[in-house]
Amino acid sequence: MIRVLIVEDDPMVAEINKSYLKSIKGFTCAGVAANVSDGLALLEENPVDLVLLDIFMPRTNGLEFLADIRKKRKGIDVIIISAASDIEHIKASLRLGAVDYLIKPFEFQRFNSALLKYQKEQEFLKAQAMVNQDELDRLLLKKDIRTAAPPPELPKGLTLPTLRLTIEQIHKMEKDGFSTEELANKVGISRISMRKYLQFLTDIEFVFIKMAYGNVGRPVYKYHLNKGNEDKVKPYMKADDDS
């Protein structure tokens, strides 16, 4: 489990980041800090693997926080999440060892991609005592770290006919987005079953989740077709329906 500290002075953004984090398997929130001093205190009290760090905060900014943990040689990785989009802040963050940089406002898809990429890299590094040049190049050049694999198969419990119906309905509903329940009703399966299909389609980045706020009540998660990534489901459409 990757332990994540959120350092963010905007309570709403911190809560959104925490909610996003909870939806990704393999990650747990180790704490939330509204400023650098509280963040440093939490690091001393709790084991942390990764920090989601804002730059613009009261008194001390996030880059000073990042410089401090580098100075102390703490084995902690940092992903910057900031409204700062100027090159100087970005270059300074990368020089200090930030592993990724998300510019606010961002979509869940980009957040999800950053964390899953980090997770894959950590799994790869933990599994290796030594690497060859080709393996290292694939890691440093941000390519997928994988060995040769057979053509993809649908995850267990998913069937090709239902997947085809699901994709057909997604294309019909993609304009305004859709909830799990709305799509399940259109396809004619249970919400629990539909969650499995949507988790699969999210994992391959065919769809992405966006938080929608209504006039009252809690925010609602809506799925949207990830235009430009529609080809990612095609290899699975040829899978044998034997699950």
CATH at residue 63: 3.40.50.2300
Mark whether 15 and 120 lie in a shared domain.
Answer: yes
Flag whether 132 is in a domain: no
Quick one: pLDDT at residue 240?
47
Taking a C-beta distance cutoff of 8 angstroms, is the pair 232, 148 a contact? no
Band (pLDDT 50/70/90 cuts) for residue 169 is very high
Flag whether 206 is in a domain: yes
Quick one: pLDDT at residue 151?
55
Mark whether 170 and 103 lie in a shared domain.
Answer: no
Flag whether 130 is in a domain: no
On the question of pLDDT at 148 being above 50, the answer is no
Range of the domain at 11: 2-124
- Give the tens place of pLDDT for each residue, 14-51: 999 999 999 999 999 999 999 999 999 999 889 999 99
Classify 38 as helix, strand or coil. Answer: helix
Band (pLDDT 50/70/90 cuts) for residue 232 is confident
Taking a C-beta distance cutoff of 8 angstroms, is the pair 8, 14 a contact? yes
Flag whether 17 is in a domain: yes
Mark whether 24 and 118 lie in a shared domain.
Answer: yes
Mark whether 33 and 88 lie in a shared domain.
Answer: yes
Query: What are the contacts of 158-162 at 24+ separation with CB within 8 A?
Result: 158/196, 158/197, 158/200, 158/243, 159/241, 159/243, 160/237, 160/239, 160/240, 160/241, 161/241, 162/187, 162/189, 162/193, 162/197
CB-based burial of residue 131 (10 Å sphere; 0-12 exposed, 13-18 middle, 19+ buried)?
middle
Flag whether 147 is in a domain: no
Mark whether 101 and 7 lie in a shared domain.
Answer: yes
Q: Span 66-77, mean pLDDT?
A: 87
Q: Which of 124, 150, 177 is the last residue of a domain?
A: 124
Mark whether 6 and 116 lie in a shared domain.
Answer: yes
Mark whether 31 and 103 lie in a shared domain.
Answer: yes
Q: Which of 80-89, 122-131, 182-191 has the lowest mean pLDDT?
A: 122-131
Q: Span 153-167, mean pLDDT?
A: 91
Flag whether 90 is in a domain: yes
Mark whether 92 and 184 lie in a shared domain.
Answer: no
Quick one: pLDDT at residue 175?
85
Quick one: pLDDT at residue 136?
73
Quick one: pLDDT at residue 229?
85
Mark whether 70 and 182 lie in a shared domain.
Answer: no
Taking a C-beta distance cutoff of 8 angstroms, is the pair 162, 200 a contact? no
Quick one: pLDDT at residue 215?
60
Compute the residue count for the chain: 243
Mark whether 117 and 177 lie in a shared domain.
Answer: no
Flag whether 233 is in a domain: yes
Q: Which of 79, 101, 124 is the last residue of a domain?
A: 124
Mark whether 100 and 19 lie in a shared domain.
Answer: yes
Quick one: pLDDT at residue 19?
92
Band (pLDDT 50/70/90 cuts) for residue 218 is low
Cα 144 to chain centroid, rounded: 16
Mark whether 9 and 56 lie in a shared domain.
Answer: yes
The fraction of the chain above a pLDDT of 70, given in percent, is 89
CATH number at residue 229: 1.10.10.10
Task: Report residue 82: phi and psi, to 5°.
Answer: -150, 155
Flag whether 52 is in a domain: yes
Quick one: pLDDT at residue 219?
67
Quick one: pLDDT at residue 213?
64
The number of distinct structural domains making up the chain is 2
Band (pLDDT 50/70/90 cuts) for residue 243 is very low
Quick one: pLDDT at residue 128?
76
On the question of pLDDT at 123 being above 70, the answer is yes
The fraction of the chain above a pLDDT of 90, given in percent, is 58
CA distance 27 to 198: 20
Q: Which of 124, 151, 172 is the last residue of a domain?
A: 124
